[in-house]
């Protein structure tokens, strides 16, 4: 009959299936007649499967998936914003260029277009600066959340 000391040492090997069939049979024979070792093996098995789950990482997988999805979504929105503002600014600048090419008397429309273009340019700079700032602080916000 195996001693309980050996049982404790071999518990993990038994659970991990690292024993030879003969060793496992001997181990199970002891378990059948020893309540203490049955309990400790049950406990070891529980801890082992818990550790296994954590290693495989079900909850962590979900966490990282959500993490990358949210990063991606934010990146998409950020890019969309920049494209919209850049497009608007380019349109306004093109208007200014057209006016400059066919330079005639200064009209209200030309001044308005120039003001509009300046506004878009300013907005573009502001948005880009804000996005760059957000990018810098993003990783800290995600950790806190």
CA 99 from centroid of its chain's CA atoms: 48
* CA atoms of 13 and 89, how far apart (whole Å): 68
Mention every residue, 6+ apart, whose C-beta is less than 8 A from residue 8. Answer: 37, 40
Shortest approach of Zn ion to residue 4 CB, angstroms?
4
- The answer to the question of residue 125 lying near Zn ion (CB under 5 A) is no
CB under 5 A: which stretch of 16-24, 34-42, 73-81, 92-100 binds Zn ion?
34-42
- The answer to the question of residue 31 lying near Zn ion (CB under 5 A) is no
CA 87 from centroid of its chain's CA atoms: 31
Q: Which is nearer to Zn ion, 7 or 124 (CB)?
A: 7
Q: Which is nearer to Zn ion, 23 or 74 (CB)?
A: 23
Shortest approach of Zn ion to residue 48 CB, angstroms?
19
Q: Which is nearer to Zn ion, 37 or 92 (CB)?
A: 37
- The answer to the question of residue 4 lying near Zn ion (CB under 5 A) is yes
Helix, coil or strand: residue 1: coil
- The answer to the question of residue 34 lying near Zn ion (CB under 5 A) is yes
What φ, ψ does residue 3 adopt, rounded to 5°? -85, 160
Mention every residue, 6+ apart, whose C-beta is less than 8 A from residue 109. Answer: none
What φ, ψ does residue 34 adopt, rounded to 5°? -135, 105
- The answer to the question of residue 37 lying near Zn ion (CB under 5 A) is yes
- The answer to the question of residue 42 lying near Zn ion (CB under 5 A) is no
Contacting positions for Zn ion (CB under 5 A) = 4, 7, 34, 37
């Amino acid at each position: 009959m195996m001693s309980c000391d050996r049982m404790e040492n071999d518990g993990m090997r038994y659970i991990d299936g690292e024993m030879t069939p003969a060793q496992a049979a001997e181990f199970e024979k002891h378990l059948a007649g020893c309540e203490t070792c049955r309990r400790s093996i049950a406990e070891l098995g529980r801890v082992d499967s818990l550790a296994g789950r954590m290693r495989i990482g079900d909850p962590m997988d979900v966490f990282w998936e959500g993490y990358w999805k949210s990063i991606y979504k934010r990146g998409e929105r950020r890019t969309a914003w920049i494209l919209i503002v850049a497009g608007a600014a380019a349109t306004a600048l093109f208007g200014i260029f057209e006016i400059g090419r066919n330079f005639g008397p200064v009209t209200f429309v030309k001044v308005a277009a120039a003001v509009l273009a300046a506004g878009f340019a300013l907005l573009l700079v502001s948005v880009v600066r804000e996005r760059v700032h957000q990018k810098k602080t993003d990783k800290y916000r995600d950790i806190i959340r």
